Structure 1
Amino acid sequence: MWDSKESVYNIITKPALKKARTPPKAPDKALDPITVKTLLWRMKNNMKLRETATFGLLPGSTKPQPSKFLRKHSKEPNLTVKRTIATDRCTSKKAPLPDLTNQPPRYGIKSDTDYIYSNAERVIKAKADRSHCPRKEVLEHEKPGFGRLPMYLVKRKNEIAKIIAKGIAEKQDKCQHPGTRRLEGDEKQKIVNGLKIKWAVVNAEYLKLPFIADTDAQKIRKNRYEQELENLQRDISLLSRKTVLVADSGPSQINPSLM
């Protein structure tokens, strides 16, 4: 019944269905003709991807190859090989033979030289070779520059001495009184020695007086000697100071506050 051409389904017309709009298909590149070169490249690329995958090497890749066996000294580093020039002994040049025609050999020639005497004379006249002799060790304190101050210390010492002298001069200029001068060392020592001699003379006269003065003349002389000795001692102590100022002409204008 179903195979009959007079089927009801053949008489009834089917309603037309609305077709959905589909985008146009892009041309399939896989259907393009593939060259042999492209196919080989794809196969080689797929093999590389498979080798780097986590499933291991390709089956059959670990199979030993008879042509790639371990040779002798293959793990050693390759050194530069020196080129050797092959020379043939038969073709190499040798020294020419002596010319026996012009210079015949000499036989039986004797010399009258006394080699013992000549060697002794040469040794006697030769200078002694002291290169192998041990040199005398020079001690540290025997060197020429031992104990000498270096130049930078000498320079620093001179600079400090100049600064000190300049400060002393400035101090003296500030303390200098008008109309006075500083008494130098030799002149001051000469005056002090003269005062000491005078004190010794007065003291000798004072010791000649009696222990107990009975008369008025003895009392006056004793008081005068004591006063003179006291003045001499005061003058000596005054001149014994480090700085002594004196006036050459007229009375000196000394500031009492600086005394």
Structure 2
Amino acid sequence: MWNSHESVYKIIKPSEAYHAFTPPQSAKELRDRKVDEITLRLKQTMRLKAAATFGRPLGSFRPSARNFLRKHSKEPQILYGAVQLRCTKHEKRKPDLPKERPTYGKVKMMDYIKTNAEQMIHSSPNRSKCPKKPKRYALRRGFATVPTYLASRMRTLTNQNNKDNLEQQAADCGHKGTRKLDEKERITLMNNLKLKWADMNARYQRMSVVLDIESKKRRKERYEENLSQLERDIALLSRSVILVSDSVPAKVQKALTQ
């Protein structure tokens, strides 16, 4: 069968769908609706609380004769001839027109030349755009003085040079059979002496205050002597340059042989 795309029905325009106009709700309607929702929610909560333990009472499941589906109850309600309410919440209101009648032809008698002269006489000159007088650099604060950072740098260099000179003098000293103590060895010895001093001081602090026995007196004197000797040794090792003899001294060797 022959099929043509042309038809009479294409010339006829389809009818426009009618959209029902629903006016915006007023503040009172919104408030009443919210109150109804809150009331319904409270009633449901109270009903559930009443049936929270033993179930709902007998007869509550019986259908009501009044709550039944009515005809056209779910269809949208169309209000014909309703006036659209305009929202004027965000509109800025203009001021009212003046009620007094304006006067026309009023002339202001004013001597502008005299007024301008009085303003110029009583006004102060504006010197912001005037060229400023240059300041002399020799009159500034801190002129012809050494800056702080240069003075600090010079002190650091002087201290470093003095330290290097002392080390060089110690290295070039004419003492035969001596050597300079290594820095790592010096720090290790000093740390060991400090640990020994802390251990002995703890023992000394744990002694009893009452010295009623001769042995306690001798032990206290021995602790005090050892502590003072350790403090002297730590002070000696705290120096920057320490010379150590390669050979064992005669007194130490004699004490070792005995």
TM-score over 0.5 for the pair: no
Rg: which structure is higher?
A: 1
Q: Higher helix proportion, which one? A: 2
User: TM (normalized to structure 2)?
Assistant: 0.31
